[in-house]
Structure 1
Amino acid sequence: MSHTPPAAEGQDAQQFFAVAETLAEESRRDIVADIVAHPEGLPSMKELEFTTGLHRTTIHQHLEALIDGGIVEPVEIPPGQQTKGQPSKFYAITDTARQIFDQNNVFIEDHWKEIYDRVDKPEEIQEAEAAPRPDQD
């Protein structure tokens, strides 16, 4: 009898287990949930600070691990298109991670977006949420 989850069989096994290992840390799962929940799927650092309650340095460390694990990717507005006073760097779930999440029914977008919508956000977070976002290719 195999103890390997269905999504982990075959050529995707290495990616599945790498993602699972990276997400073993609760704060990383929280960050991923907040990215998934964001209305545009592209929160800024300011928004992640608010939604996670973690310090910027801690979030940065977790984001580096999530980026190295192929779960999250930074997405930036090109320098000539940046708006003064607005964030220019955002974070998105990679296509590979989204596929793994979908195959395993985790980080379901509708569920997390519904929770995110209920959060009472101060004006500065509402403004950050309304900031222009880069195009995702």
Structure 2
Amino acid sequence: MKNVGEAPAEELATGERSTRNRVARSILDHGPSTVADLAQRLGLTQAAVRRHLDSLVGDNVVEAREKRVYGARTRGRPAKVFALTDGGRDAFDQSYDKLAVEALRWIERNAGGEAAVAAFARDRIEAQAEAYRAAVESAGPARRTEALAKALSADGYAATARHAPVGEQLCQHHCPVVHVAEQYPQLCEAETEIFSRLLGTHVQRLATIAHGDGVCTTFIPDVPQGAEADGDAPDSGGDGDPPGACASDTPQTASSTASASKAGRNPA
């Protein structure tokens, strides 16, 4: 991550800037977080966390939001969470978004339209997927999603895996190409396709950061015994809707999730 803002020499000498970057990185890896969450994860006092958060807010790296409440609201003021701003996300990458968008636009106009962009996206993710494939194939069937999450994290996606009703969710808290994917969702679609092949089952993209969601969420349904070997993986577009997107500050509504699940195109 690039250091954000100017820091006096005495701050650098005492490690203040390093700790501040750890706070921002923890929010990147785990999503919007309370002061108590950050203090527990980083082994800091809540007072120290608040001091670093004040500096990060001043540098426009993080912003305070009201925590979303699911289910019945309890008494008292909702807890405050801190989330990365767009500038804060950008600070973790030295990206060449403008150049990438211009290159894809040239491909689209001069080398075959949307089909050419889709072919580029598939070729790009195939090259990345070699490391992912090795990680997934070395894991047992019950650990494949977790293994894929770890491999994605090594590539900067800050991914986690969690259990969900009738399956699992792959949650990517960061996307290094988000600004390009906002204009070219073929990047997200190719990624979803490769996840399906790596995990040996139909998967379903429920949310993407490029589409304005807080987390990229991919639902991986349970594969019935013997279905994978027979090439008969379940289609989650059948009876019932898949579970909602990974918990974030911008959850999808039931109607938008259902809409995404039935659309032929990923929601990015």
* Structure 1 residues 21 and 84: alpha-carbon distance in aligned structure 2, compared to 1, 3 A threshold: same
Code of the aligned partner of 2:44: L
One of 52, 55, 60 as aligned partner of 2:42: 52
Does residue 26 (structure 1) correspond to residue 11 (structure 2)? The answer is no
SS in 2 for 1:97: helix
User: How far does residue 135 in structure 1 lie from its aligned partner after superposition?
Assistant: 3.1
Higher RCO (Cα < 8 Å, 6 or more apart): 1
1:8-23 matches, within 5 Å, as 19-21=4-6
Aligned length: 99
1:67 corresponding residue in structure 2: 57
1:85-96 matches, within 5 Å, as 88-96=79-87
User: How far does residue 31 in structure 1 lie from its aligned partner after superposition?
Assistant: 0.4
Code of the aligned partner of 1:72: V
SS in 2 for 1:54: coil
2:28 corresponding residue in structure 1: 36
User: How far does residue 99 in structure 1 lie from its aligned partner after superposition?
Assistant: 2.0
C-alpha RMSD of matched pairs (Å): 3.8
User: How far does residue 78 in structure 1 lie from its aligned partner after superposition?
Assistant: 7.5
Rounded to whole Å, the distance in 1 between the matches of 2:77 and 2:28 is 21
Rounded to whole Å, the distance in 2 between the matches of 1:51 and 1:78 is 21
TM-score when scaled to structure 1? 0.55
Rounded to whole Å, the distance in 2 between the matches of 1:89 and 1:55 is 17
| Identity fraction in percent | 27
Structure 1, unmatched stretches of 5+, are 1-15, 118-131
Code of the aligned partner of 1:33: R
Which structure dedicates a bigger proportion of its chain to strand? 2
2:88 corresponding residue in structure 1: 97
Rounded to whole Å, the distance in 1 between the matches of 2:47 and 2:19 is 13
Code of the aligned partner of 1:30: R
Tell which structure's C-alpha radius of gyration is larger. Answer: 2
SS in 1 for 2:153: helix
SS in 2 for 1:74: strand
Instruction: Decide whether the 8 Å contact of 1:70 with 1:96 is kept in 2.
Output: yes
* Structure 1 residues 68 and 42: alpha-carbon distance in aligned structure 2, compared to 1, 3 A threshold: same
Code of the aligned partner of 2:18: E
User: How far does residue 61 in structure 1 lie from its aligned partner after superposition?
Assistant: 0.5
Structure 2, unmatched stretches of 5+, are 96-151, 162-246, 252-268
Deviations 1:64-91 (A, max 9, x none): 0000011111111479x85448962111
TM-score when scaled to structure 2? 0.30
User: How far does residue 44 in structure 1 lie from its aligned partner after superposition?
Assistant: 1.3
Rounded to whole Å, the distance in 2 between the matches of 1:52 and 1:85 is 27
Instruction: Decide whether the 8 Å contact of 1:73 with 1:93 is kept in 2.
Output: yes
Rounded to whole Å, the distance in 2 between the matches of 1:82 and 1:88 is 11
